[in-house]
């Protein structure tokens, strides 16, 4: 039978409910899935991330075939592979002569720009559909943002709560408050019982992919094994069950904590599955709400978790599309230092950075506070170029796609957009890391020392950052107290801070 629509399913669209399949027909439409070099190398992704996606794509293609779809699947090593979405769609168009190409909108601007050129390049209509896995469409976010001076996540989040009815008690928020974040800042102790995330043994498909990635991506960052990620929707569901049962009850309390020997704490490790399409974000939130209503998790945990997904996740996606393509170039502090090598090697004496980067290399995972307050904080204090910082985060985490990574990195963690996401930079000295973690006890640097050879580098860098960027930050009312503290310091102390910082920065390679 002649092909009516050629439907391209991208590697992060692994959901049977994806909009491109809604109006499709198993008899006359053909699905196309492709493993292509351009996607695997536009940044040098962590090897676990590539293996996760290739294996999940192969499993998804098999599930689609079992459900009666005709799927053309192109493996990375196929001799005819042209290496790009555009090349492969063009080849499939020549092969199948469809009437049109259909695709759900991609998550990244780069890919969208390529698709917008397809009608002219391919000479046939290309239908780009909304990605209905998101609660708030790009157009709805733009409407929400229009005319507002400040795009505060908290207000956006309340609208999403009302829209979904999640944790609502009629018109009012459950428990009388929208946000229980103030209860979610407990430091963790190493003797707490902490569950481990759900682990899956690699099956034959995953093993084949691991061999491929080992052979073809030897120069990429990150350990390939042990590989324990879920690669199918049902395995990801099992990971969700596991999280709800074991970790969700303490998710809220220890959300901001860090422990050297506990890489995951009470975090869900679900972002890679949600972002790739193996789990539906709204369904995940409904499960978490049900656990709360059944008395299996406290409100601060359920609210905190749901806020991350229907609040932050939707909000950063809206901002990404609102601000691209210029957003990626923003550099509020004009920071131009290159990314230090130790972000790739973990070869640093600083125990917090060493732990976060080692874990990133081994797991393709770090939790939010490690990303924000350790690797992110250091990069901002040291004046690292935000685009290089962005490219690092995009490469090293299994859940990283530009739509979610860029606003989190460039906006939230580097303040490179001058304050779109946050009212002040997430800058902190060693004291914060010491309060929220057990890293400092294992560090050759002394977190209590402010300056000098053995002082925790975050201490002088913190003040140096504030002084270096005084013209941009002193007027910020949320930093008034901090600058008053600086002003009250003796000139000698100020000089000590700045000289210590200069010494640290001079040694960064
Ligand atoms: P949990 O702590 O269990 O949180 C639950 C879920 O909420 C996550 O699975 C995720 O879907 C969502 N979520 C939580 N925080 C955020 C947030 N700030 N933005 C969007 N969704 C959120 N998240 C990504 O998914 N991809 C990225 O590339 C990414 N890059 C980041 C870069 C930086 C510098 C920072 C500070 C944060 C980044 N985040 C990113 C957000 C967050 O760190 C991760 O979503 C989270 O650590 C994933 O682990 P988890 O599933 O255990 O999350
Ligand atoms: C991240 C990624 C990688 C590593 N490889 C592929 C691939 O080979 N084929 C594919 O369809 N998608 C891949 N992806 C995910 C895409 O980069 C993602 O779909 C786009 O960035 C749009 O969000
Ligand atoms: Fe990190 Fe400073 Fe603590 Fe060392 S002393 S672990 S560098 S915060």
Res 194: pLDDT? 85
Beta 71-74 vs 100-104: how paired, if at all? unpaired
CA distance 477 to 465: 17
Can you tell me which atom of ligand 3 is nearest the CA of 446? 5
Nearest C-alpha neighbor of 320 from the set 112, 19, 32:
112
Average pLDDT score over residue span 53-63: 98
DSSP string, 230-287: --SHHHHHHHHHHHHHHTHHHHTTTTT-BBTTBSSTT----HHHHHHTSS-HHHHHHH
pLDDT digits (tens, 9 = 90+) for 427-449: 999 999 999 999 999 999 999 99
Average pLDDT score over residue span 468-477: 97
pLDDT interval class at 256 (50, 70, 90) = confident
Mean pLDDT of the chain: 96
What DSSP state is assigned to residue 505?
Answer: H
Q: Show the ligand 1 pocket: residues with CB < 6 angstroms.
A: 267-271, 274-275, 305, 308-309, 312-313, 316, 367-368, 371-372, 376, 393, 397, 399-400, 404-405, 408-409, 412-413
**Cα–Cα distances in Å, from 393 out to 2, 77, 312, 317, 464?**
44, 27, 17, 16, 24
pLDDT digits (tens, 9 = 90+) for 288-326: 999 999 999 999 999 999 999 999 999 999 999 999 999
Q: Which ligand is nearest to the CA of 433?
A: 3
| Cα 232 to ligand 2 centroid, rounded to whole Å | 17
Structure tokens at 414: 């580097």
pLDDT interval class at 183 (50, 70, 90) = confident
Crossing angle of helices 233-246/281-293, nearest 10°?
30
Phi, psi of 384 (to 5 degrees): -75, 145
CA distance 466 to 413: 15
Q: Does ligand 2 lie within 6 Å of residue 40's CB atom? A: yes
| CA 194 to centroid of chain Cα atoms | 23
| Cα 111 to ligand 2 centroid, rounded to whole Å | 9
pLDDT interval class at 191 (50, 70, 90) = confident
Assess whether pLDDT exceeds 90 at residue 188.
no
Task: Give every CB contact of residue 213 below 8 A, 6+ residues apart in sequence.
Answer: 47, 50, 51, 54, 224
The pTM of this model reads 0.98
What DSSP state is assigned to residue 198?
Answer: P
Assess whether pLDDT exceeds 90 at residue 200.
yes
Structure tokens at 173: 């928020």
């Amino acid at each position: 039978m002649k092909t009516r629509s050629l439907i391209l399913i991208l590697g992060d669209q692994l959901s049977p409910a994806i909009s491109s399949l809604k109006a499709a027909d198993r008899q006359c439409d053909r699905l196309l899935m492709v493993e292509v070099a351009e996607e695997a190398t536009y940044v040098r992704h962590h090897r676990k991330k590539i293996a996760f996606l290739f294996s999940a794509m192969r499993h998804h293609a098999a599930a689609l075939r079992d459900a009666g779809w005709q799927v053309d699947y192109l493996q990375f090593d196929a001799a005819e592979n042209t290496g790009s979405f555009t090349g492969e769609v063009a080849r499939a168009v020549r092969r199948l002569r469809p009437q049109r190409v259909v695709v759900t909108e991609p998550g990244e601007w780069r890919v969208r720009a390529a698709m917008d050129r397809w009608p002219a390049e391919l000479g046939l209509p290309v239908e780009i559909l909304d990605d209905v896995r998101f609660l708030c469409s790009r157009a709805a976010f733009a409407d929400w943002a229009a005319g507002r001076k400040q795009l505060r996540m908290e207000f956006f989040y309340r609208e999403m709560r009302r829209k979904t009815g999640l944790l609502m008690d009629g018109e009012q928020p459950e428990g009388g408050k929208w946000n229980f974040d103030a209860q979610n800042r407990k430091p963790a102790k190493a003797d707490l019982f902490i569950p481990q995330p759900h682990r899956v043994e690699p099956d034959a498909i995953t093993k084949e992919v691991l061999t491929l990635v080992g052979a073809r991506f030897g120069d990429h960052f990150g350990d390939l094994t042990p590989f324990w990620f879920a690669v199918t929707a049902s395995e990801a569901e099992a990971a969700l069950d596991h999280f709800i049962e074991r970790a969700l009850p303490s998710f809220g309390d220890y959300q901001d904590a860090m422990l050297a020997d506990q890489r995951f704490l009470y975090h869900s490790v679900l972002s890679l599955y949600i972002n790739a399409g193996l789990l539906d974000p709204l369904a995940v939130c409904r499960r978490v709400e049900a656990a709360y209503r059944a008395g299996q998790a406290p409100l601060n945990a359920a609210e905190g978790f749901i806020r991350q997904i229907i609040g932050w996740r939707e909000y950063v996606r809206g901002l990404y599309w609102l601000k691209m393509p210029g957003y990626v170039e923003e550099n509020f502090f004009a920071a131009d230092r290159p990314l230090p090598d130790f972000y790739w090697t973990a070869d640093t004496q600083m125990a917090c950075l060493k732990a976060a980067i080692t874990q990133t290399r081994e797991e393709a995972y770090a939790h939010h506070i490690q990303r924000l307050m350790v690797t992110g904080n250091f990069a901002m204090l040291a004046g690292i170029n935000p685009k290089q910082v962005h490219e690092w985060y995009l490469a090293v985490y299994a859940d990283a796609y530009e739509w979610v990574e860029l606003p989190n990195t460039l906006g939230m963690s580097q303040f490179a957009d001058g304050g779109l996401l946050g009212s002040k930079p997430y800058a902190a000295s060693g004291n914060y890391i010491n309060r929220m973690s057990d890293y400092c006890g294992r560090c050759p640097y002394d977190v209590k020392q402010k300056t000098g050879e053995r002082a925790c580098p975050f201490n002088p860098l913190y003040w140096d950052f504030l002084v270096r960027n005084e013209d941009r930050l002193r007027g910020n009312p949320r930093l008034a107290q901090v600058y008053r503290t600086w002003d009250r310091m003796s000139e000698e102390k100020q000089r000590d801070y700045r000289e210590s910082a200069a010494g640290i920065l001079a040694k960064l390679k």
